[in-house]
Structures are given as C-alpha cells and as structure tokens.
Chain A
C-alpha cells in the first residue's frame, strides 16, 4: 500500500486530454511538500517529467502539466500521443515516515 494513492490505470484516444491524480495526506502533500512526477516507458528507467508541482524540465513538451491543491496533485496530458503510453509516478516527502515516498503508479493506455 503506497503512501501516495494513484489510480491504477487511465486511458484516452490520440489527441485527447487525460488527467491522473495523486492523493496524499497532511503529512506529505498537505504539509506543503512539493509533488514531482516521473514517466517510465516500458523497460526503461524513470524520467523526470514535472518537478515542484508545476515545473517542466528542459525537453519535456508543454503537453504535460502539473497542479497541486490541498492534499492532492494532478498530472494532465493534452494532445495524447501513442508514445505517451507509459507508467506515471508521483513522488513527495512524508514527515511522519521521514521518507521520500512514491505513488503506486498509473498505467496510461493510448487507445
């Protein structure tokens, strides 16, 4: 059971917009710790997608955006492409566990 809760799967057709959530608690996201997002393509290492809730590293398309409110965060992908099919993980810090924590991951399927 992950400290951060993500839906196991989401799907969308090419060109559509999808969102995925990351639910935390008052000891992590709700305590003001930023949320970061990673994309993991099949058989590869995770890649940083969003840091500090809303920031995109250089090279990440602006189709990807992040938001945060209260004890949860969201990742949105617009103009869905086949190459976006991957697992997506949120990550933050939990002060009651004194640990960096990940969500269980969301598998995105492009229909």
Chain B
C-alpha cells in the first residue's frame, strides 16, 4: 500500500529555517517523480517543487533560491529544506507522488500534510 507521511512542520520566525520530511512506503521514491504542494489557510493549492527520478529539481519562482528539495534513497524519504522563511510561506505542505501523462505530471498519492507557520 502506498503511503506518504510528512513531518517537521511547526512555528518558525520570519527569516528562519525548517526542514520537512516525507517518508514513503509501498513504492520507491528514487524511481518516481515526487513533488511538494502547499495550501495557505483558506486558499487553493500551489505547486512548490518537483524532483525527477533522475534527480533534477524544479521550483516555483516564489521559493526559488530559498527552498531545496532532496531525497535519501536509503531511507526512501524526501526532504524540503526551507530557508529565509516569510510569512507568506505559511501553509500546509503536502508531498505527493507524480506520474507522467502526455508531458504533464499528475499527482496520484498525497500525504496528510504538515503545517508550517511563519510568524513572530
């Protein structure tokens, strides 16, 4: 059974850092596209970052240069290192598995999400 479990969220001050984790089971993260999507309180979904099976990463402009998406194949776990956090980064962060369909990626399994609050 495919499962994704996020952790690491919490309250952090503006300018601070946080590292989110996403532990996967039931499949191998290194052979799949994986993504982070966030949802600000009461708002819609926003794509944050993707890592390809080959290790290539892409980021939304709003987080480029501040966030880093990585994975530990031995632990089958993904990480999102978030630096220079801003109040507008406050959101529930979901990790999800991506599958390719006609040059797009769709997200078939999602974790339960972890809340990040950036506030002084």
Residues of A within 8 A of B (CB): 2, 32-34, 36, 38, 40, 45-48, 51-52, 57, 87, 89, 91-93, 97-105
Point out the residue from A34, A45, A47, A105 that lies within 8 Å of B104, measured CB to CB: A34
Residue pairs across A and B with Cβ atoms less than 8 A apart, 10 shown, are A34-B103, A36-B101, A36-B104, A36-B107, A45-B113, A46-B107, A51-B106, A51-B108, A101-B47, A102-B45
Measured in the bound complex, the distance between the Cα atoms of B54 and A92 in whole Å is 22
CB distance from B57 to the nearest CB of A (A): 12
Does B73 sit at the interface, judged by CB under 8 A? no
Known: A99-B47, A102-B47, A105-B44. A93 touches B111 (CB 8 A): no
Task: Name the A residues within 8 Å of B35 (CB-CB).
Answer: 100
Which of B50, B61, B94 contacts A100, CB < 8 Å? B50
Chain B interface, >50% SS class: strand
- The residues of B that contact A98 with a CB separation of less than 8 Å are 58
Residues of B within 8 A of A91 (CB): 45, 106-107
Q: Which residue of A lies closest to B110 (CB)?
A: A45
Residues of chain A contacted by B60 (CB below 8 angstroms): 99
Q: Which residues of the other chain, B, contact A48 by a CB distance below 8 angstroms? A: 106-109
In the complex, which residues of chain B have a beta carbon less than 8 angstroms from the beta carbon of A92? Answer: 104
What is the CB-to-nearest-CB distance from B114 to chain A, in angstroms, rounded to a whole number? 11
* B102/A34 in contact, CB under 8 A: yes
Q: Given the known A-B contacts A98-B58, A102-B45, are A45 and B94 also in contact in the complex, defined by CB atoms under 8 Å?
A: yes
Please determine whether B102 and A46 come into contact, CB atoms closer than 8 angstroms. no
- Asked whether A102 and B46 contact (CB < 8 A) given A33-B103, A51-B101, A52-B102, the answer is yes
With A36-B106, A48-B108, A105-B45 already in contact, 6 other A-B pairs whose C-beta atoms are closer than 8 Å: A32-B102, A32-B103, A46-B37, A46-B107, A93-B105, A99-B47
Q: Does B28 contact A (CB under 8 A)?
A: no
| Chain B hits for A32, CB < 8 A | 102-103
- B44: chain A residues within 8 A (beta carbon): 2, 87, 89, 102-105
Residue B112 lies at the interface, judged by CB distance under 8 Å to chain A: yes
